[in-house]
């Protein structure tokens, strides 16, 4: 009887200590405020004692940051297929080097952009075959999907105005119609994966947006770790 009680106690202690990792991504058009909100979200989560990893795509590792510079440099002429494959290469390195280890150690990962971005930017923005992109995403991530995605939706012209004031990268240099298609892609993804992707209107105040995001994230973390 004592041995059974000991085993049950050990089980519940293990459940508490070995907390599940949670993977949260932030998506949105250029200039929609992802980085600002990522910083506020991480600050609020750390106040509650969560162990948080902040990362981004393209980038997040030494190899992926090199690819980021290539992908975003305005002077580089990159063909759509090359662009897609470079993003997927960056994602594969990022997933194996940063995201999976963090998840396995029970951390909260906040990632600015992930696989949804390829569907929106290359699939819709570049008019590439979405089925191929989904398959490449699956290969690059070994089937890993975020637990929760926050999509920042805002007026495209306003977002581009913000982004271009800080200096244009290669994708921010694309015309209005390109970015319009990108937004359409994100909204399409939201309909397809409505349980995972939550839309936040990014034209509200920074404080109100931060509160909405924090509430959604905290509920998701609680539910995942309660199972």
Q: Which residue has the tokens 């089937």?
A: 143
Give the tokens for residue 189: 């993804």
Q: Is the pLDDT of residue 35 over 50?
A: yes
Tens digit of each residue's pLDDT (9 = 90 or more) over 146-182:
999 999 998 877 767 766 666 677 887 888 899 999 9
Angle between helices 130-141 and 80-94 (to 10 degrees): 30
High-pLDDT (> 70) share of the chain, %: 89
Domain spanning 21-226, CATH architecture: 3-Layer(aba) Sandwich (3.40)
pTM: 0.88
CA pair distance 214, 221, nearest whole angstrom: 10
Tens digit of each residue's pLDDT (9 = 90 or more) over 4-29:
433 343 343 334 334 799 999 999 98
Tens digit of each residue's pLDDT (9 = 90 or more) over 199-215:
999 888 999 999 999 99
Backbone angles phi and psi of 211, in degrees to 5:
-65, -45
Q: Which residue has the tokens 């290469």?
A: 89
Tens digit of each residue's pLDDT (9 = 90 or more) over 119-141:
999 999 999 999 999 999 999 99
Q: Is the pLDDT of residue 34 over 60?
A: yes
Tens digit of each residue's pLDDT (9 = 90 or more) over 54-97:
999 999 999 999 999 999 998 999 999 999 999 999 999 999 99
Going from the C-alpha of 93 to that of each of 57, 62, 79, 216, the distances in angstroms are 11, 9, 21, 29
Which among 42, 39, 37, 41 has a CA at the least distance from the CA of 52? 42
Q: Where are the alpha helices (DSSP H) in 51-200?
A: 62-72, 80-94, 100-104, 115-118, 130-141, 156-165, 176-192
Q: Which residue has the tokens 């929106």?
A: 120
Which among 111, 114, 145 has a CA at the least distance from the CA of 42? 111
């Amino acid at each position: 009887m004592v041995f059974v009680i000991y085993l049950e106690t050990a089980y519940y202690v293990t459940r508490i200590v070995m907390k599940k990792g949670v993977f949260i991504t932030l998506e949105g058009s250029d200039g929609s405020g992802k980085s600002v909100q990522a910083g506020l979200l991480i600050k609020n989560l750390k106040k509650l004692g969560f162990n948080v990893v902040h990362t981004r795509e393209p980038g997040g590792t030494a190899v992926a940051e090199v690819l980021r510079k290539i992908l975003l440099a305005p002077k580089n002429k990159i063909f759509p297929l090359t662009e897609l494959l470079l993003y997927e290469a960056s994602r594969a390195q990022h997933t194996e080097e940063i995201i999976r280890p963090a998840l396995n150690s029970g951390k909260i990962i906040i990632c600015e952009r992930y696989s949804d971005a390829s569907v929106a930017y290359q699939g819709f923005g570049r008019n590439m075959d979405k089925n191929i992109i989904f398959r490449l995403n699956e290969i690059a991530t070994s089937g890993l999907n975020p637990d929760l995605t926050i999509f920042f939706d805002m007026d495209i012209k306003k977002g581009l105005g913000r982004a271009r004031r800080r200096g244009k990268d290669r994708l921010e240099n694309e015309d209005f119609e390109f970015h319009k298609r990108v937004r359409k892609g994100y909204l399409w993804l939201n309909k397809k994966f409505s349980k995972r992707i939550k839309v936040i209107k990014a034209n509200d105040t920074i404080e109100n947006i931060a509160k909405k995001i924090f509430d959604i994230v905290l509920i998701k973390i609680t539910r995942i770790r309660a199972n």
